[in-house]
Structure 1
Amino acid sequence: MTELVPTNAKDVPSALVRQTLLDRELVKAVERPVIRLLPWLRVVAIGGRSIMDRGREAVLPVVEELRSALAEHRLLILTGAGVRGRHVLGVGLDLGLPTGVLGGLAATEAEQNAHLVAALLAADGVSYLSHGTVANQLATHLAASPAVVANGYPPYGVHEFPPTVGKIPPHRSDAGAFLLADAYGAAQLIYVKDVDGVCTGDPATREGFLPQVGAGELLRMELPGLPVDRIVLELLGAAKHVTQIQIVNGLTSGNIGRALAGEHVGTIIHAD
């Protein structure tokens, strides 16, 4: 049967007409600088195992520092899963579950920690937002409140990328915080951990402390105990907006506020 084509059909002018989207060289010719959606946003990622698992002695001072910052900054506060996430990953691995399912299970533990932080900041108008709301309505909520709290895990669900080794999800809360910060063009990304930053030796004694280091250089060092997931360093090299991250010790009073104020606290890792 002959297909009838309407005589009034119109073509849509585009620089990508008759080009394959798989050819990056062809697509590169029409790429433009990516705009920053929320250039005033500051992302603070609270470690699950390093901060949340320590209970009130660590969590309450961190929350108070964040509360003190609400008058000057608009924050997206993200939380990691901690030891409960490791437990559910262990059970899932024992059951033979695929990577995507494991990622979703661990994300629920990070969500619980986010609910805890949001509850502690509720009197200041701060609430928990789900993944979908953060993706579509973050600007609206931050226009009404100085901060929101969310799950740090990326919302990949069963679509998580398969790792090269094993089945542990490669994109966890550290990576999720980075991806969100870069997607929104955030002004700052701070990781709140229980160490002063990156050390080439024992972090408990600050042996070989590095106040500043390049992501590529750090990857080549192959240090066994990095305070952030290695994949964050890889993402830093391909990011559109985030050119550096800052790791601070949340157990030291004042560090978070100083970092938000632009002071060089802890370790700054920059794109090479």
Structure 2
Amino acid sequence: MTAPDTKDVPSALMRQTLLDQERLAAAEPGRERPPRRLLPWLDVVVLGGSTIVDRGGDVLLGVVEELRSTFTGPPPAEGGTRLLILTGAGVRARHVLGVGLDLGLPAGALAGLAATEAEQNGHLVAALLAADGVSYLPHGSVARQLPVHLAAAPAAVSTGYPPYGVHEFPTGGGRLPVHRTDAGALLLADAFGARSLTYVRDTESLAGFEGASLTTSGAAGHDGPLPVDRVVLDLLPRAKHVRSFAVVDGTERGRISEARAGRPTGFTLRAD
């Protein structure tokens, strides 16, 4: 029952939710106002925690040097690009997740623990690029201040883990968080309308997929592990801007630059 002094403001969303498909239909692609790319000059590069960072200086320093070699381009106003480097969690997160499972922690708590290690890897990569003006940005700064930082520096570093935290939900009857670095990077790249998205792995991660190009439906029917988490197969077809991405071997110099330039390399996944 409404109190006599209650005021209602007329609105299209009055007594509705943002899950109402009829209300959301007007914002779908193909309508009069398609979604706007916020940062169309942004390239997102994701460094695997266990496949790149945990490999130590022999691999990570080579990847950092290749990224640094791309910092000499013009600013976005003159047709150049800028780089957002995201890091994943590695072997330490797997250990923490194992302990958390033994203690009976829920998926939301496990997600927060694993995200902490991905953040530590981000600080490490940012430190290696500090001389170039690159700094680490937490999720809040990425969401509100990324354009300002990229106006002053050629790149920024953050964690690829999505900030779901305690709101992560278990799926498939398990407690492990399914939205990890691969999912978080895709969601972030799509939210900014990034120009490209590249996942950097090692040779073993691409075994059997080097040079392959699949659609999400084709990859879903593949038996065995994929170069990316399978939850991405559900997210990519729903993305508004990112319709494909590459997974490249970071141990081979030049692969990241080729992917950013749009040349076929590594493994390519496309939305149907």
Q: CA RMSD in A?
A: 2.2
Deviations 1:66-95 (A, max 9, x none): 001122331110011111110100011011
Taking a change above 3 Å as real, the CA distance of residues 146 and 156 of structure 1, as seen in their structure-2 partners, is: same
Retained in 2: the 8 A contact 1:42–1:187? yes
Aligned to 2:105: 97
Q: Give the counterpart letter for 2:240 in structure 1.
A: K
Aligned to 1:262: 262
Deviation (angstroms), 1:25: 2.9
- Asked whether 1:249 is paired with 2:249, we answer yes
How far apart are the structure 1 equivalents of 2:62 and 2:255? 11
Matches within 5 A, 1:46-85: 46-72=47-73, 73-85=81-93
Matches within 5 A, 1:5-20: 12=10, 14-16=11-13
Retained in 2: the 8 A contact 1:46–1:78? yes
Deviation (angstroms), 1:259: 1.4
Deviation (angstroms), 1:234: 1.1
How far apart are the structure 2 equivalents of 1:226 and 1:5? 55
Q: Give the counterpart letter for 1:266 in structure 2.
A: G
Matches within 5 A, 1:172-191: 172-191=180-199
- Asked whether 1:212 is paired with 2:213, we answer yes
Aligned to 2:25: 28
Aligned to 1:225: 225
Deviation (angstroms), 1:268: 1.2
How far apart are the structure 2 equivalents of 1:165 and 1:81? 23
Taking a change above 3 Å as real, the CA distance of residues 4 and 211 of structure 1, as seen in their structure-2 partners, is: closer
Deviation (angstroms), 1:163: 1.9
How far apart are the structure 2 equivalents of 1:123 and 1:49? 25
Taking a change above 3 Å as real, the CA distance of residues 20 and 263 of structure 1, as seen in their structure-2 partners, is: closer
How far apart are the structure 2 equivalents of 1:5 and 1:97? 43
Q: Give the counterpart letter for 1:258 in structure 2.
A: E
Aligned to 2:158: 150
Retained in 1: the 8 A contact 2:46–2:86? yes
Deviations 1:199-257 (A, max 9, x none): xxxx1xxx464521101110122x32211101112100111111001010000111111
Count of residues in Structure 1 that have an aligned counterpart in Structure 2? 260
Aligned to 1:113: 121
Retained in 1: the 8 A contact 2:209–2:267? no
Q: Give the counterpart letter for 1:260 in structure 2.
A: R
The unaligned stretches of length 5 or more in structure 1 are none
The unaligned stretches of length 5 or more in structure 2 are 74-80
Retained in 1: the 8 A contact 2:139–2:159? yes
Taking a change above 3 Å as real, the CA distance of residues 3 and 39 of structure 1, as seen in their structure-2 partners, is: same
Computing the radius of gyration from Cα coordinates, the structure with the larger value is 1
Deviation (angstroms), 1:260: 1.4
Q: Give the counterpart letter for 1:65 in structure 2.
A: E
How far apart are the structure 2 equivalents of 1:270 and 1:108? 30
- Asked whether 1:163 is paired with 2:164, we answer no
How far apart are the structure 2 equivalents of 1:53 and 1:65? 18
Percent identity over the alignment is 59
Q: Give the counterpart letter for 1:37 in structure 2.
A: L
Taking a change above 3 Å as real, the CA distance of residues 172 and 15 of structure 1, as seen in their structure-2 partners, is: same
TM-score by length of 1: 0.89
Retained in 1: the 8 A contact 2:211–2:265? no
Retained in 1: the 8 A contact 2:160–2:182? yes
How far apart are the structure 2 equivalents of 1:84 and 1:75? 26
Deviation (angstroms), 1:131: 1.0
Deviation (angstroms), 1:267: 1.3
